[in-house]
Amino acid sequence: MDMEKDLQTFIHIFKALQQEEKDCPVTESVDPEDLLKQLDLSLADEPMANDAFNENLKKLVLKTPKTASNRFYNQLFAGRKSKAILGELLAVVLNNSMYTYKVGGPQVCVEKEIIKQICSKIGYGENSGGTFPTGGSMANFMGLMMARDKFDSSIREKGVQQTLIAYSSSESHYSMAKNASFSGIGRNNVRYIAADSDGKMRADVLEAQIKTDIANGLSPFFVNATAGTTVLGVYDPIIELSEVCQRYNIWLHIDAALGGAVMFNEQYKYLLAGSEYSDSLAFNAHKMLGVPLSCSMILVRDKKYLYQSFSNDADYLYQGHNDDYNLGKMSIQCGRRNDALKFWTLWKSVGTEGLAKIVDYQFQLSKVAHDYIEQHPDYTVYSQSPSVTICFNYKNIDPKWLCNALYEQQQIMVGYGAQGDTTFIRSVAINTSNKKVDMLEFFTILEAFVAQNKAVLLSE
Ligand SMILES: Cc1ncc(COP(=O)(O)O)c(C=O)c1O
Over residues 124-153, the pLDDT tens digits come to 999 999 999 999 999 999 999 999 999 999
CA of 75 to the centre of ligand 1 (A): 10
Band of residue 316 on the pLDDT scale cut at 50, 70, 90: low
| Residue 51 shares a structural domain with residue 174 | no
pLDDT of residue 193: 98
pLDDT of residue 313: 67
Q: Kindly state the DSSP code that residue 235 receives in the 8-state scheme.
A: B
pLDDT of residue 55: 96
- What are the C-alpha distances in Å from 198 to residues 218, 225, 366, 420, 444? 30, 15, 17, 12, 28
Of 22, 38, 63, which residue is a domain's last? 63
Q: Is 197 part of a structural domain of the chain?
A: yes
CA of 286 to the centre of ligand 1 (A): 10
Q: Kindly state the DSSP code that residue 201 receives in the 8-state scheme.
A: B
Q: Is 179 part of a structural domain of the chain?
A: yes
Band of residue 311 on the pLDDT scale cut at 50, 70, 90: confident
What pTM was estimated for this model as a whole? Answer: 0.96
Ligand 1 pocket mutation pick from 173, 200, 298 by most atoms within 8 angstroms of CB = 173
Looking at residue 121, which CATH number applies to its domain? 3.40.640.10
Residue 164 has pLDDT above 90, yes or no: yes
Across residues 351-355, what is the average pLDDT? Answer: 98
| Residue 199 shares a structural domain with residue 124 | yes
Residue 143: helix, strand or coil by DSSP? Answer: helix
To the nearest 10 degrees (0 to 180), the angle between helices 436-452 and 340-375 is 50
User: How many Cα atoms within 13 Å fall on the side-chain side of residue 348?
Assistant: 14
Which atom of ligand 1 sits closest to the CA of residue 137?
Answer: 11
pLDDT of residue 56: 96
| Residue 51 shares a structural domain with residue 113 | no
Q: How many domains does the chain have?
A: 3
Across residues 229-242, what is the average pLDDT? Answer: 98
Ligand 1, atom 16, lies closest to the CA of: 230
The amino acid at residue 2 is: D
Q: Is 43 part of a structural domain of the chain?
A: yes
Question: What CA–CA distance (Å, rounded) separates 70 from 240?
Answer: 39
| Residue 107 shares a structural domain with residue 157 | yes
Per the CB < 8 A criterion, the answer to whether 340 and 132 are in contact is yes
Cis peptide upstream of residue 386 (ω within 30 degrees of 0): yes
Residue 320: helix, strand or coil by DSSP? Answer: coil
Domain coverage including residue 366: 350-459
Residue 185 has pLDDT above 80, yes or no: yes
CA of 430 to the centre of ligand 1 (A): 14
Pairwise pLDDT comparison (200 vs 317), residue with the higher score: 200
Across residues 231-249, what is the average pLDDT? Answer: 98
Cis peptide upstream of residue 29 (ω within 30 degrees of 0): no
Across residues 280-291, what is the average pLDDT? Answer: 98
| Residue 253 shares a structural domain with residue 314 | yes
- φ, ψ of residue 161 in degrees (nearest 5): -100, -25
Q: Is 68 part of a structural domain of the chain?
A: no
Pairing, β 280-284 against β 379-381: unpaired
Residues with CB under 6 A from ligand 1: 76, 135-137, 173, 175, 226, 228, 230, 255, 257-258, 284, 294, 296
Pairwise pLDDT comparison (243 vs 316), residue with the higher score: 243
Across residues 227-234, what is the average pLDDT? Answer: 97
Looking at residue 377, which CATH number applies to its domain? 3.90.1150.170
Quote the mean pLDDT of the chain: 95
CA angle 37, 410, 11 (to 5 degrees): 70
Q: Is 246 part of a structural domain of the chain?
A: yes
Q: Which helix (H) or strand (E) holds 110?
A: helix 106-121
Per the CB < 8 A criterion, the answer to whether 148 and 164 are in contact is yes
Of 319, 345, 371, which residue is a domain's last? 345
Of 44, 63, 82, which residue is a domain's last? 63
CB-neighbour burial class of residue 357 (10 A; exposed 0-12, middle 13-18, buried 19+): middle
Residue 95 has pLDDT above 70, yes or no: yes
Q: Is 74 part of a structural domain of the chain?
A: no
User: How many Cα atoms within 13 Å fall on the side-chain side of residue 361?
Assistant: 16
pLDDT in tens, 370-412: 999 999 999 999 999 999 999 999 999 999 999 999 999 999 9
| Residue 336 shares a structural domain with residue 367 | no
| Residue 133 shares a structural domain with residue 271 | yes
pLDDT of residue 314: 61
pLDDT in tens, 104-115: 999 999 999 999
CA of 177 to the centre of ligand 1 (A): 13
Band of residue 312 on the pLDDT scale cut at 50, 70, 90: confident
Q: Is 422 part of a structural domain of the chain?
A: yes
Residue 45 has pLDDT above 70, yes or no: yes
Band of residue 445 on the pLDDT scale cut at 50, 70, 90: very high
Ligand 1, atom 9, lies closest to the CA of: 136
404 CA to centre of own chain: 23
pLDDT of residue 455: 72
Q: Is 73 part of a structural domain of the chain?
A: no
| Residue 333 shares a structural domain with residue 354 | no
pLDDT in tens, 320-335: 667 789 899 899 999 9
Q: What is the 3-state secondary structure (H, E, C) of 356-393?
A: HHHHHHHHHHHHHHHHHHHHCCCEEECCCCCCCEEEEE
| Residue 119 shares a structural domain with residue 6 | no
pLDDT in tens, 186-223: 999 999 999 999 999 999 999 999 999 999 999 999 99
Residue 162: helix, strand or coil by DSSP? Answer: coil
Band of residue 456 on the pLDDT scale cut at 50, 70, 90: confident
CB-neighbour burial class of residue 32 (10 A; exposed 0-12, middle 13-18, buried 19+): exposed
Band of residue 448 on the pLDDT scale cut at 50, 70, 90: very high
| Residue 205 shares a structural domain with residue 306 | yes
| Residue 112 shares a structural domain with residue 154 | yes
CA of 289 to the centre of ligand 1 (A): 14
Max alpha carbon distance in the chain (Å)?
72
CA of 138 to the centre of ligand 1 (A): 9
| Residue 445 shares a structural domain with residue 306 | no
